[in-house]
Amino acid sequence: MMRIALKVLGYVLGLAILLAGGALGYVLLALPQKTQAAPLRIERTPERLARGEYLVRLADCDGCHSERDFTRFDGPVVPRGRLAGVEMPKEMGLPGTVSSANITPDAETGIGTWTDGEIVRAIREGVDKDGRTLFPMMPYESFRNMADEDVYSVVAYLRTIAPVKRYHPKPKLDFPASLMINLTPKPAGTVPPPDVSTKLKRGKYLVTIAGCQGCHTATLAGGDKFGFPGVTVVSANITPDTHAGIGKLSEQDFVNKFAQYRDYVANGSPKAGLSSFTVMPWLQFCQLPDDDLRAIYTYIHTFPPVNKPVETHPGFDKGLDKPKEKS
């Protein structure tokens, strides 16, 4: 009987090893899922360039791909390093060394030699020119929902950015993240224009492309930590909860919250210390039309309220650039 039991156990272990080996082989050899880059030649019309500039702002591409001056409020972009890529700080706790790509048209270090179809594939499917998986900090899972015409507009606009020669080494990820990221890319297929016939539907598309849930969590209840040299900030609760979220804000209050930063865009962002450090793209989103902000507000209010208080600047006295005193 014992011999039979051991034989059965041997079969089970063998099957488990085989399945594990097969799964590993699948991740190594069959992934990422990718399609051939479409043979596109995207015409740069004035309409596409204007739409592309708007979408790059909505998606906050500058937030990750541009050099920024974090001595000033919200880290305004340093023009000489716009969209030339940056190395992510080790304080973010990423699984390895990660740099955002140089997405300027520089032929040597940027995307100047990429075809239009390769750029489209990278944006929506997370696969680079050479068929490698992009680290999913790049929100291609959200951009997968970007309409064909919209992604064409983004590509057209990126082609007009001043080229910057700035080399970044390829990401070096720790195991098992180096393998698991290959599960993320998926073909986007054809994506029709979004239905924006109502404020709610428009808001849903805007929130998806803006990637609000990427920072504020799937429920929008916040709490995700973002580490930078000398400071950690936490994403806010933006559910309609009246105590911990934004439930007390009227639609106009919500619009005004963003609009107050438009002067910073026009006249320069003021100096800021650690207690007001933020990675929320106020300087980008404040430039969105009021109607878009109203649509975002409408869609956010379809989420269930979550009574989850969040301290966005842990360890600092409110309004003061010094650590809290220990009691």
Question: What is the residue-wise DSSP string for 7-37?
Answer: HHHHHHHHHHHHHHHHHHHIIIII-S---PP
Same domain, 251 and 124: no
How many domains does one find in the chain? Answer: 2
- Shared domain for 58 and 173, answered yes or no, is yes
Dump pLDDT digits (tens) for 139-184. Answer: 999 999 999 999 999 999 999 999 999 999 888 999 999 999 999 9
Task: Note whether residue 315 is domain-resident.
Answer: no
pLDDT digit string, tens, across residues 38-66: 999 999 999 999 999 999 999 999 999 99
How many other CB atoms are found less than 10 A from the CB of residue 164?
21
Prediction pTM value: 0.88
| Contact in structure between 195 and 203 (CB atoms under 8 Å) | no
| 130 and 224 fall within a common domain | no
Q: Looking at the structure, do residues 207 and 132 belong to the same domain, yes or no?
A: no
Phi, psi of 19, rounded to the nearest 5 degrees: -65, -45
**Any domain includes 78:** yes
Structural domain includes residue 12: no
Residue 221 lies in a domain: yes
127 near 14, Cβ under 8 Å? no
Q: Mean of the pLDDT values across residues 248-261?
A: 98
Quick check: is 77 in a domain?
Answer: yes
148 and 210: one domain? no
In a domain, 137, yes or no: yes
The strand pairing partners of 87, in sequence order, are 99
pLDDT tens digits, one per residue of 99-137: 999 999 999 999 999 999 999 999 999 999 999 999 999
Q: Say if residue 247 is in the same domain as residue 149.
A: no
Nearest to 249 by CA among 291, 292, 297: 297
The pLDDT of residue 2 is above 60: no
The strand pairing partners of 77, in sequence order, are: 68
Cβ burial of 17 (10 Å; 0-12, 13-18, 19+) is exposed
Q: Give the bridge partners for 127, in sequence order.
A: 133
130, amino acid identity: D
- For residues 74 and 280, the answer to whether their CB atoms sit within 8 Å is yes
Classify residue 230 by burial, with Cβ atoms within 10 Å: 0-12, 13-18, 19+.
exposed
Residue 12 has pLDDT above 70, yes or no: no
In a domain, 13, yes or no: no
Give a yes or no: residue 172 inside a domain: yes
Residues 56, 154 within the same domain: yes
Residue 218 structural domain: 199-300
Give the SS3 label for residue 68: strand
Neighbouring C-alpha atoms within 13 Å toward the C-beta of 7: 4
226 φ, ψ (degrees, to nearest 5): -130, 110
Assess whether 177 and 225 both reside in one domain.
no
159 and 235: one domain?
A: no
Instruction: Please tell me whether residues 120 and 71 are part of one structural domain.
Output: yes
Same domain for 135 and 177, yes or no, is yes
What is the DSSP secondary-structure string of 223-273?
A: --EEEETTEEEE----SS-TTTSSTT--HHHHHHHHHTTHHHHHH-PPB--
